[in-house]
Amino acid sequence: MMDDYSLPFWIYLAVVTVIVGGAMKKVLTSHLSTGPTLVAWLGATVLVERLWAFCLPALLLLALIGLAFSLYSWTRTGPPPVTLPTEGKAVFITGCDSGFGNAAVKRLDSLGFDVFATVMDLTGHGARDLQRTCSPHLTLMQVDITQPQQVQQALLDTSAKLGHRGLWGLVNNAGVCVNFGDAELSLMSTFRGCMEVNFFGTLSVTKSFLPLVRQAKGRILTISSPAGDQPFPCLAAYGASKAALNLFTNTLRHELEPWGVHVSTILPSSFKTGHSSNHVYWEQQHKQVLKSLSPSLLEEYGEDYMTETKDLFQSFAKQANPDLSPVINTIVEALLAPQPQARYYAGPGVGLMYFIHSYLPFSISNRFLQKLFLKKKLMPLALRKQSGLDLDPPDLLNNNNNNNNNEK
C-alpha cells in the first residue's frame, strides 16, 4: 500500500517528523518537569498515529516505537555524566554579596576551585559570611564593575595570584533590576542604570579578563534572564539591558570558538535574590517613581494603576523560589562539563516558556507571557474614562475599606 503514496506525501511526512522530533528534543533537554515532558510524548503519539493512518507496516511501526523508547530510557538512566577535575582551576565571579553569587562561591570553594569573588562591600554581611564559611583559597575583592579602575585593579590582583596559570572560569553574575512599571513611566536614569551594570559593566569585566580565560582555554558563564529574550510587561529597562547582554554573549561564543573557549548563558526562573523580598525596597521604588512623574502623566495613568503594579511585583517576588540550588548546580555543570551547552534553563518553567515562545503561534505565546507574569486588572485611568468604566472597581474598593479597618 505504501506504493500508492506520491513523493509530495513522503516530503510532507518527513517535514512533520522533523518538526515533532525537534520539539521533543527541545523539551526533553530543557530540564522540564513531568508535565511538559508528557506533552512531548503526546506529540510523539500524534506522530505515530499519523504514521499508522498512512499505512506504515505494523512491524516497522513497532520497531520505531521500541527504538524511541530505548533511546529515551538510555538518556534518562544512563551512566552519570563525566565531569572535569577541579584541581588547579581558578574561577572569577562577580556580584557575590548575596543571591546566586554568594551561594555559588560557597559551592565552588567546597569543590576545590580557587575562587576570586567580587563584592560591593568587604565589611558587609555577605562578605563576612563568605570569609567565615569558605577556605583560605577564597580571594575577596571589593569591585564595582561599573568602575573601570576597580575592574583593572581586580585583574592585576588576580593575575598576580594566578602566576603563570590562566583563568578557567569567568562567571558574570553581577546585575541589577531597579525598575518596575510601564516603559513610559520609567525613569531614563533607570534605563541607563540597568545598561551600565548589566551590559557595560559585564562587558568591561569580560573584555578585561578574556586574555586570562583564553590562556586556560576556559569558560565564560553569564547569568542573564528570560526577560532579555521575551517582552515581560513592566520590565522594559531590565529586559533591554539583558537583551543587549544576550546578543553580546551569543556573538562572543562564535568568536571565541577557535580559541577553545566555551561561552554559556544561564537563564534562571524566578528566585528570591537581592531586594526581591524586601518590602521597604518596593515602597521606596514606588515613591520614587511617583515623585518623578509629571502631573499630566500621573493623571493619565492614575496612582491606583501604579499601586496595583507595585503590589503585583511584590506578590510575584513573594512566590519566588528561595532554593537557589538549580542555578548553582547549573553553574557547576557549565564549568565542569567536557562540552558545556550554549544555553542552560535553570529552574522550573523556563524551558516550557521558551518552548511555547519558540514553537507556538505568537498570539498564544504573547498571551501566555502576560498571564504568567503580571495579571493586571486595572487599565490606565484615562482609558477607563474613555471607556466609561467604573473608576473604582468593587474589589478594589473593598480592599481599601479593609485596609482602613485594619489601620483602625
H, E, C per residue of 195-245? HHHHHHHHHHHHHHHHHHHHHHCCEEEEECCHHHCCCCCCCHHHHHHHHHH
Task: Please answer whether residues 267 and 350 qualify as being in contact, where contact means their C-beta atoms are separated by less than 8 angstroms.
Answer: yes
Instruction: Determine the residue type at 350.
Output: V
Instruction: Determine the residue type at 363.
Output: S
Task: Let me know if 238 is a catalytic residue.
Answer: yes
Q: What's the CA gap between 301 and 78, in Å, rounded?
A: 56
Task: Please answer whether residues 321 and 350 qualify as being in contact, where contact means their C-beta atoms are separated by less than 8 angstroms.
Answer: no
> Annotated catalytic residue: which of 72, 238, 281, 344?
238
Q: What's the CA gap between 110 and 309, in Å, rounded?
A: 41
Which residues is 118 bridged to in the sheet?
141
Which residue has 520590565 as its cell numbers?
235
Q: Which residues of 307-321 are buried (b: 16+ CB within 10 A; e: fewer)?
A: ebbbebbbebbeeeb
Residues 6+ apart with CB under 8 A from 340: 219, 262, 264, 333, 334
Going by the DSSP 8-state scheme, the letter that residue 321 receives in this structure is B
Residues 6+ apart with CB under 8 A from 134: 105, 106, 109, 115
Cell for 79? 551512566
Which residue has 512531548 as its cell numbers?
40
Task: Please answer whether residues 93 and 108 qualify as being in contact, where contact means their C-beta atoms are separated by less than 8 angstroms.
Answer: yes
Residue 94's closest CA among 39, 23, 171? 171
Task: Please answer whether residues 32 and 352 qualify as being in contact, where contact means their C-beta atoms are separated by less than 8 angstroms.
Answer: yes
- Which residues are tagged catalytic? 238
